[in-house]
Every structure is written in structure tokens, then in C-alpha cells.
Chains A and B, each alone.
Chain A
Amino acid sequence: MKLSRRARLLVLFAVPIALMSIVRLWSGEDGLTSSDTIGASLRLSVPILLAGLAGLWAERCGVLNIGIEGMMIFGTWFGGWGAWQFGPWLGLAFAVLGGMLGGLIHAIATVRFNVDQIISGVVLNLLAFFGVRYMSDLAFVGQPGGGVSQSPPQTSAIPRFDVPFISGGDLFGWKSPNVLLSLEDSGWFFIGDLAGILYGLTNNLSWGTVIGVAAVPATFWILWRTRLGLRLRSSGESPTAAETLGVNVIRLRYVGLLVSGGLAGYAGGILAIVASSYYRQGQTAGRGYIGLATMIFGNWRPIGVLGGASLFGYTEGVKLVANDAISTLFLFVALAAVLLAVMAVVNRTTTRGIVAVFVSVIAAYAYLAIEDVPQSLTQSLPYLATLIVLATASQRLRPPAMAGVPYRRGESH
């Protein structure tokens, strides 16, 4: 089957939605494509997306960044504190600065002193975890609603909006029609689901989320279209070559790590300011690590990271909004596997076909046998998904050639 690139993208996009629609009509469970689920997924995707981009910036300039989690912790604390003190926008700014502080520490350790990059990252995570506890002790203990593990609640939030014309947003005081919502409510095959997804993505949007998503094209444009970007990537691909051409690798790695820290900090800020209205200990819940997995899954490319983050955000969104619908995911997997099996038969790839049939049977059995998945086990869904994705995708990846290798000026050659 030969399809043009555009047609293939269309199929990749439409087929899963069609499958989900079938699942919805079959099971009567509309949680998989409801706008509530998608909206929650979007909110949950953005911190992971930013963590993934933070990893991308760090590794593209040649430094592994296990410390994203720590930088995010700084982001949640400084964001929570800043928003509580000065309002949400300055809170986000403080979150970015807090993350950059983490990036700076990581840069000093790895770039200046050549400490092992993984070790430095792990230590940074420890430092952030305990450091913010000490600061909470000083800043939040004794305040109304605050404590050693929590900030007082913020009083104002980042404004939200609905997109006009399609999702009922206001336009100069005029309330535009809400086309998507009515389409979603219709419940038609495919169209209802598509509308649900689009409505979820376009209603009650926080500006904080929009800025976060905008980091994807911005990252692509800076890294692949500008001088700074080319030099930064060359520092991760071949620092020796870059240095001989007059590129200051050391400085660029500082830049890369500061941006990385800023993005991670912003991710933390989203958690403390947009997704909730206070700082809480453990708010990051390992999203920094999931972000790293997303970066690998996305093959160190911004679009790939976006795809990975959407996937993880979606599993979290379903878990949060439509926990009952989780078992229907088995049905979805079963149907998708059947489809893959059919394609395998067409393409005569036997092993793939057998695997697909096998997966399909297992998933179908799981759907029929399991009434509801225990809450305690669904907690591990994103982490499990990460492992599965890495296990199946890790063969065809192209990481920056020199990420993880310490660089010292003039030492090689």
C-alpha cells in the first residue's frame, strides 16, 4: 500500500478516532473522546511536554539532564511562592527563574567541572527536594493554609478563554456560537468524537497552557532555523568540530542548560499555578522523568515530544476524568491490533501479524474479564506506558551523538 505523505498522515490521524468512535458506540462509554477528558489531557500534557522540551534543549547541546525533576520542583516552589506573593503572571516568571537556578547548578557541575552528568542530575533532584522543604519551613509555616509541605492558596489565577466561533468564545463582548459543543452532544459516529476532541482543545483554555504549547514551534524554529540553534546542536553532535570552527561550546552548553532549566521551571509553574492554585510537595510526581521518556520517544525532536506528551497526558486524563472508561481502552487496543493484523496479512509480514493477533486476543480478554481496574494500579499507567514505548521504539532512535560525553576544551586531539 503506497500512500502519499499527506494521505498517510491523514490516515494516522483519522483511523484512531474512528476506532475510538466505534468503542464509544459499542460500549456506551463516552469518556474516551469526551471534551472533558481531552481538556484534562491537554492540561496534564503541557507540564510533560515542557519537561520533554527541557530534556531536548539539554541533550541537543550535549548534556544529559536527569535533573529536570529537580528543576521542576524549583519551578513549583518558586512559582507557588511568587504567585501567592505577587500574582500568577509574576509567579510564572519566578517559576522560570527557579528552574534556571537548577539549570545553572547542573551547568556548573557538568560543564565547568565535568561531573558525571547523570550523577549531577540525581544530586540536583535531591538538592531541590530538600532545599524547597527548608524554604517552605521559612516561608509557608505559620501562614494561613500553608505548611512545610504546602503553600497558602493563591487568590487569583491566569485568565482562561474559549476560542470564538467554534467553542463559544466571546468576541468584543459578543458571544459567538458554540459549534463544537453541539456537534459533540450529537454523538454522531466520528463527527461527534472529532468535535469532542477539538472542543476539549479549544474551550476554557488558560493562557499559561497556550504559552506552554507555543514552546514547541519556538523550540523548532530556534534550534533548526537560527545561528544560535545550529551552534547549540553542533555542541551536542560534535563539540570538537564546533570548537575548531570558533564555536564556544562551553558557553552554548550553559545557554542550553539555562533554557532547559527555564522550560522545566515553567512546567513546574504550570503545575502550581495553572493546574492548581497552590504549591504542594510532590506536585511534580515524576513528570520530569516522564518528560525525559517523552524526549526519547519523540526522537529528540519537538514534534515527537509533542506526540509523546499527548499520549502520556491522555492516559493521565482518562485516568483522572473517566476512570471507568479505562477498561474500554482494552477494547480500543484489541480493535487496533485487529487492524494491524489485517494490514500485516496484506503486507505479508507474518511475525508482525502473529504478534498483533496475540495482542488483540489478550486485550479482548482483558476487556471482557476485568470489570474495573483498581485505582492503585491505574496510578502506574503512565510509567508502564513509558517502559512499553521505550521497549518497542528504542531501536530506531537518533540521539545527539555526543550527549552525555563531558567536553573539555582542547583535550581531544
Chain B
Amino acid sequence: MEDFVEIKPKGKPLKRIYLNLMLWFVGRAIQASAKVDKKVKQEFEDLPKGYNFALGAFPNGPWMVVGKDDDGRVRYLGRNVKDKTIDLWMTLKSVEALFLLFTFQESTPVSNARSRLFVEGDLPHACAVVRIMDIVQVYLLPKFIAKLAIKRYPRWSLKQHIIGRILVNARTLIGY
């Protein structure tokens, strides 16, 4: 047939670089928040030991893997999903959907409502991860951006806002 062409569409390198950076930062921020914030600590205590979850884009990532080891410590485990046992997969249907999430054009509940997010694993644990990410985003982002990223902006004390942010951001950069 004359008008037939076969095409293998290429990738989106710039968006991939941006998303890798964001996921790296958020992963380390989750690790930091688990030591700073009481609610995040409590959420992780309710998860079983050795529990790993991954957030990323279908089909080939980028991915963020965070886990709780046998000692109960929360660690950012990198972006490689192949050599790990993942108990909870939170997958966005495309790199574009993940990009919408991490440029805060859509919050996680809106993304879920628009069928961009699917979960393989325990649903209560997925809800816990969403709550953790909401708290982390409040620590990382200024208020006018965080309000776009989460469902409801929390009422925290000034001390928690200032000191919590300093500690989470510093620990995120250091990686401790």
C-alpha cells in the first residue's frame, strides 16, 4: 500500500530529565520527612517492615522507589525497579501524566479522578503514600504552589512551617 508508513515514536528526553530530578528530590524528601514530621513517621509505622513502594510512569519510568527496611528506617532506594521487590506500584499512565503531576497542574486526587493513575497493591497503603506525599509537598513547596498540588492545605503552626521546612530541605540535600 503506497500510503503506509511504520513509525516508532521517540522519547521525551527533556521531560525525562526534569522528572528524574523531581522524583530524586521528592524521594529524598520523603526519607527526610520520616525523621522530622510526626504524621509521616506514624504513617510509616503503620506500614509493614520491608515494605517498598514505587511511583513512576508507564511503561519505562522514570521511577522513584522508597522503602522501609527491617529496622524500620525509611530509605530512598533510587530509581531502579528491576532488582527490587516492589509491594506497591503507583503508576501514571504516561510520562505526560507524571509531568502534569510534578508541574502541579494537577493534584494527586485530580489525577486519580481523571483515570491517569493506577495502583497495584494494597489500596489502604496507597492512600497512606498519598497522605505522605501531600505532607512532603507542603514542606517542599511555597503555599501558592502547594495548594495546587494537594487537596487541602493543612493548618500548621508557624514553628512547624519554618523549622520543619528548614530541617526537611536540609536533610533532603544532605541525604540524611
Bound together: no
Binding site for A on B (CB under 8 A): none
